[in-house]
């Protein structure tokens, strides 16, 4: 049980800082929250300025707040 518990929380500590600047694809509409796919992993995300971002739109990670990634539209 402990091993499973640690595995489930592995995402939170691995490379979170390395995610900043990465490109992602919105998997749901971000209104302002939704989900994005980053390197094959699904993350809970919110738009940086609170605006809606369409599903399948390219975004860029600006920062991490716990398990929430803050994104902006990719330029």
Q: What is the pLDDT of residues 42-57, one digit of tens each?
A: 999 999 999 999 999 9
* Length of the chain as a residue count: 75
Mean pLDDT of all residues belonging to the chain: 85
- Rounded to two decimals, the pTM is 0.78
CATH code given to domain 2-73: 2.40.50.140
pLDDT at 5 over 60: no
Backbone Cα Rg of the chain: 12
Q: Which residues contact 21 (CB under 8 A, 6 or more apart)?
A: 60, 61
């Amino acid at each position: 049980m402990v091993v499973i518990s640690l595995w489930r929380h592995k995402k939170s500590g691995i490379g979170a800082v390395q995610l900043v600047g990465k490109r992602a694809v919105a998997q749901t509409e971000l209104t302002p929250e939704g989900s994005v796919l980053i390197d094959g992993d699904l993350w809970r995300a919110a738009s940086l300025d609170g605006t809606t971002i369409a599903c399948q739109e390219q975004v860029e990670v600006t920062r991490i707040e716990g398990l929430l990634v803050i994104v902006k539209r990719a330029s």
